[in-house]
Structure 1
Amino acid sequence: MLGNSEETVGPKLQRRLGTSDAVMIGLGAMVGAGLFSAFTPAAAAAGSALLISLVLAAALAYANARSSAQLAARYPTSGGTYAYGREVLGQWPGFIAGWGFVVGKTASAAAMALTFATYVVPDAWVKPVAAAAVLLLVSVNYLGVTRTAVAARIIVSSVLALLAVIVVMILAGGHSGPDYVPGAGTGILGVLQGAGLLFFAFAGYARIATLGEEVRNPRTAIPRAIGIGLGIVVVLYAAVAAVLINVLGPGGIAQSTRPLATALGDSWALPLVQIAAALASLGALLALIAGLGRTAMAMARERDLPHALSAIHPRFSTPHRAELAVGAAVLLLIVFFDLGTAIGFSSFGVLVYYLIANIAAVKQPRGERLNPVWLGVAGAIGCAVLVVTLPTSAVIGGTVMFACGIGYRLIRLRALG
């Protein structure tokens, strides 16, 4: 079971968040992860079928969200699918889910920090400024989850307002991009690869589930927050994707590292893209650090990560050691990762994470289910298909990542006797 007796002594996480707080943290993770980073590699893979890839990614995200909400209602604890997998399927599936989330999302956090810095400083300063952003947001999370929620609310509200202005300006007189030229990335494989890369953008609702011990009335608030957050983001992504395709075409999106800026051309509103991208990537990074710290804490409670990371700060009620460790790992990855590599790497880990979530939801007793069994089965099949059709580098890197995690746990189990 989750949390043994020795974990019940000492400070605990406090239930300080309402439904709207959880929604904002989830939105912060999803808006920044998709609009300013995922469309370019997805368009390069899917080509003229980009919207089909978006629909597939959104449908899979819906199935996964429903499974996550069902599990969170039954197990309102920190750790997300790591905790659910342990409860329903056993220790090994739970560990694999947790490992995939922590390692994959650490790479994603590095990518968001680099995205922020890319939009605000010259190339020579990108890595130092990205590192400074990580240090700042680790400090915000360290001081308490209510501060995280307030920061997320400010960031999300600002980004949505800026995006409204940007989209209107694009429609009023956008810059046309090159026509799409069919290539190796098209066809069914390209569509599936595009869906897998775009799934990276939707996966932020996992951050809501990882806050299970800090949300008031979690059995109703968490499923509601996941549904609201995902619904808003699906509509937002679809609207922005349609505008970009109409103005640039899939080829223009694929060839631009900043498609929204390219679509604006020389408009006076161009600095708004820079501001929105910077804020959105900071919001995603803030939510990522919060979710990573709590999943790492949950794994440390069960000694699947060093036990010292399970500590809760006596004043701020945060998993402070886990968050500091996550911050250090993100800083390390900033040195080695670029955005495209991080998206594929993160998608592999998170798709495996949700594969286990769907299986766990299907295996729950009938009385605990909120969804029909077929929805969880469809979600599991979708995750399995997309994970093996990701770009080769992502599949190889993800496989090595999981092999390292399994080896680590085997060594730990042997050391414990």
Structure 2
Amino acid sequence: MTQSGAQQPDGLELRRILGVGDAIVIGLGSMVGAGIFAALAPAAQAAGSGLLIGLAVAAVVAYCNASSSARLAALYPASGGTYVYGRERLGVFWGYLAGWSFVVGKTASCAAMALTVGAYVWPGQSHVVAVAAVVALTAVNYGGMQKSALLTRVIVAVVLAVLASVVVVCLGSGAADTAHLDIGASGGAGGVLQGAGLLFFAFAGYARIATLGEEVRDPARTIPRAIPLALGITLVVYAAVAVSVLSVLGADGLGRAAAPLADAVRAAGVPALVPVVRVGAAVAALGSLLALILGVSRTTLAMARDRHLPGALAAVHPRFKVPHRAELAMGVVVAALAATVDVRGAIGFSSFGVLAYYAVANAAAWTLRSTPASRVVPAVGLLGCVVLAFALPWVSVGVGAGVLGLGAAAYGIRRWTSARRP
């Protein structure tokens, strides 16, 4: 294999149209999404009064992952993200395993986000709405990256406005109690780590910037700037929302909440804001789904180019310059999942797959020529990914490990059959 920055055959290259601002917005659209509306309650249930500690742990691991991804993306500015980095730095198998983890885990995330849209828009027909959302956003992505980036800007603006309203209402209400913010660890160390693993689900979208490397202008400069900026903005938003909701509901109340942000504004004495929060959650989920489909289709494109997936999926549309077959294939698979699966199981499985993906990214960053001090970040990131992955609920760990094992077995069988051919 050549370095992934190498040119593709004529007609197969994607169009470089995204600047720093566009890349940051796409990263924000991936992170400041439905995760903050859904992940706080199960994380509080696991971590108890240690929720803010869990948020800090998730942020540290996310920062390490983002730093490693940014360094690698500057060297390998092609579609595929850690699939490419693992292949180039660690070998073909590790790149394949990262790509497999990403595609499978994020396909589950797509289904979870689509179902979140359905749950907020029309709870009685959530599966129908979910499928419709997948079809609509696949069509938007098919029309070209410029349309996707524009829609993402609108979604991010709406979601940030809703979250700002929640923070102001909760912190300014008479129901706010600073005693609820006492930092402890009533869930124990294991509970805090499990909470961090669940909260990581809401942070993981910065990979979308790296997976779109082939569509970013001046990627060696743009990607390393966009990833930490998007992550930093997201961390500030999440910390503000977590503190404001905790101040009203407390850790126990937050852990029991079915719709934590809606419950928080209701407890703050502003029930009129509840419908706005519901709309914000639906829009946030749409933003996450849009960015997820973008990222999964680009990793599918990269793996298809290397024949780890059917070669037909490597096609790029001659007019729109997007991987149209990969996008359509992902749309069909996600729509089928959204019609049949449960959102809670999808989130746990997705978290395991994404943490495995970033473990490979950190291991790849460790191999870069650098000083011993600069290896601290990928070392901490790798250790953090492994610890958080195995701190998740045992069902998620078991299913996730099993699916990764199936992917590894498929790779081994493919290599064995290829070697036996005359």
Using structure 1 for the length normalisation, give the TM-score: 0.94
Letter of the 2:222 partner, please give it: A
Q: Is the CA contact 2:23–2:226 (under 8 Å) kept in the aligned structure 1?
A: yes
Q: Is the CA contact 2:34–2:281 (under 8 Å) kept in the aligned structure 1?
A: no
Q: Which residue matches 1:317? A: 321
What is the DSSP-based 3-state SS (H/G/I as helix, E as strand, rest coil) of the residue aligned with 2:214? coil
What is the DSSP-based 3-state SS (H/G/I as helix, E as strand, rest coil) of the residue aligned with 2:236? helix
Letter of the 1:327 partner, please give it: G
Q: Which residue matches 1:190? A: 191
Could you tell me how far apart the structure 2 residues matched to 1:235 and 1:9 are?
Answer: 43
Q: How does 1:233-248 map to 2 (within 5 A)?
A: 233-248=234-249
Q: How does 1:209-224 map to 2 (within 5 A)?
A: 209-224=210-225
**What are the Cα deviations for residues 229-253 of structure 1, in whole angstroms up to 9, with x where unaligned?**
0000000000000011110011111
Letter of the 1:173 partner, please give it: S
How far the C-alpha of 1:9 sits from its partner, in A, is 3.7
Q: Is the CA contact 1:296–1:305 (under 8 Å) kept in the aligned structure 2?
A: yes
Q: Is the CA contact 1:171–1:243 (under 8 Å) kept in the aligned structure 2?
A: yes
Could you tell me how far apart the structure 2 residues matched to 1:169 and 1:338 are?
Answer: 32
Could you tell me how far apart the structure 2 residues matched to 1:277 and 1:5 are?
Answer: 40
What is the DSSP-based 3-state SS (H/G/I as helix, E as strand, rest coil) of the residue aligned with 1:342? helix
Could you tell me how far apart the structure 2 residues matched to 1:203 and 1:370 are?
Answer: 27
**What are the Cα deviations for residues 275-304 of structure 1, in whole angstroms up to 9, with x where unaligned?**
110111100000000000000000010111
How far the C-alpha of 1:185 sits from its partner, in A, is 8.5
**What are the Cα deviations for residues 196-228 of structure 1, in whole angstroms up to 9, with x where unaligned?**
111111110000000000000100100111011
Q: Is the CA contact 1:24–1:153 (under 8 Å) kept in the aligned structure 2?
A: yes
**Distance verdict in 2 for CA 1:361–1:397, change over 3 Å:** same
Q: How does 1:149-188 map to 2 (within 5 A)?
A: 149-173=149-173, 186-188=187-189
- 1:327 alignment partner, one of 328, 331, 341: 331
Could you tell me how far apart the structure 2 residues matched to 1:346 and 1:352 are?
Answer: 10
Could you tell me how far apart the structure 2 residues matched to 1:378 and 1:300 are?
Answer: 32
Q: Which residue matches 1:67? A: 68
Q: Is the CA contact 2:170–2:247 (under 8 Å) kept in the aligned structure 1?
A: no
**Distance verdict in 2 for CA 1:56–1:4, change over 3 Å:** closer
Give the percent of matched residue pairs that are identical in Structure 1 and Structure 2: 53
Q: Is the CA contact 1:45–1:185 (under 8 Å) kept in the aligned structure 2?
A: no
Letter of the 2:363 partner, please give it: I
Does residue 288 of the first structure (1) align with residue 289 of the second (2)? Answer: no
Q: Which residue matches 2:148? A: 148
Could you tell me how far apart the structure 2 residues matched to 1:205 and 1:199 are?
Answer: 11
Q: Which residue matches 1:81? A: 82
Q: How does 1:24-43 map to 2 (within 5 A)?
A: 24-43=25-44
How far the C-alpha of 1:270 sits from its partner, in A, is 1.2
**Distance verdict in 2 for CA 1:371–1:101, change over 3 Å:** farther
- 1:394 alignment partner, one of 388, 396, 409: 396
Q: Is the CA contact 1:112–1:282 (under 8 Å) kept in the aligned structure 2?
A: yes
Could you tell me how far apart the structure 1 residues matched to 2:222 and 2:15 are?
Answer: 15
**What are the Cα deviations for residues 305-355 of structure 1, in whole angstroms up to 9, with x where unaligned?**
111111101010001111111111111221343232122111100111111
Does residue 408 of the first structure (1) align with residue 410 of the second (2)? Answer: yes
How far the C-alpha of 1:137 sits from its partner, in A, is 0.5
Could you tell me how far apart the structure 1 residues matched to 2:225 and 2:343 are?
Answer: 32
How far the C-alpha of 1:7 sits from its partner, in A, is 4.8
Could you tell me how far apart the structure 1 residues matched to 2:131 and 2:154 are?
Answer: 22
What is the DSSP-based 3-state SS (H/G/I as helix, E as strand, rest coil) of the residue aligned with 2:257? coil
Alpha-carbon RMSD:
2.1
Letter of the 1:153 partner, please give it: R
How far the C-alpha of 1:268 sits from its partner, in A, is 1.2
How far the C-alpha of 1:66 sits from its partner, in A, is 0.3
Letter of the 1:285 partner, please give it: L
What is the DSSP-based 3-state SS (H/G/I as helix, E as strand, rest coil) of the residue aligned with 1:324? helix
Could you tell me how far apart the structure 2 residues matched to 1:5 and 1:196 are?
Answer: 36
Q: State the number of aligned residues.
A: 410
Flag structure 1 segments of 5+ consecutive residues without an equivalent: none
Q: Which residue matches 1:133? A: 133
Flag structure 2 segments of 5+ consecutive residues without an equivalent: none
Letter of the 2:167 partner, please give it: V
Using structure 2 for the length normalisation, give the TM-score: 0.93
**Distance verdict in 2 for CA 1:174–1:25, change over 3 Å:** farther
Does residue 249 of the first structure (1) align with residue 253 of the second (2)? Answer: no
How far the C-alpha of 1:371 sits from its partner, in A, is 7.7
Q: Is the CA contact 1:253–1:259 (under 8 Å) kept in the aligned structure 2?
A: yes
**Distance verdict in 2 for CA 1:202–1:336, change over 3 Å:** same
Could you tell me how far apart the structure 1 residues matched to 2:254 and 2:318 are?
Answer: 48
Q: Is the CA contact 1:14–1:317 (under 8 Å) kept in the aligned structure 2?
A: yes
Q: Is the CA contact 1:166–1:272 (under 8 Å) kept in the aligned structure 2?
A: no
Q: How does 1:35-114 map to 2 (within 5 A)?
A: 35-114=36-115
- 2:374 alignment partner, one of 372, 375, 386: 372
What is the DSSP-based 3-state SS (H/G/I as helix, E as strand, rest coil) of the residue aligned with 1:213? helix
How far the C-alpha of 1:159 sits from its partner, in A, is 1.2
Does residue 15 of the first structure (1) align with residue 16 of the second (2)? Answer: yes
Could you tell me how far apart the structure 1 residues matched to 2:7 and 2:63 are?
Answer: 37
How far the C-alpha of 1:408 sits from its partner, in A, is 2.0
**What are the Cα deviations for residues 125-153 of structure 1, in whole angstroms up to 9, with x where unaligned?**
10000000000001111111111110100
What is the DSSP-based 3-state SS (H/G/I as helix, E as strand, rest coil) of the residue aligned with 1:10? coil
**Distance verdict in 2 for CA 1:370–1:213, change over 3 Å:** farther
Q: Is the CA contact 2:83–2:95 (under 8 Å) kept in the aligned structure 1?
A: yes
What is the DSSP-based 3-state SS (H/G/I as helix, E as strand, rest coil) of the residue aligned with 2:272? coil
What is the DSSP-based 3-state SS (H/G/I as helix, E as strand, rest coil) of the residue aligned with 2:32? helix
Q: Is the CA contact 1:67–1:371 (under 8 Å) kept in the aligned structure 2?
A: no
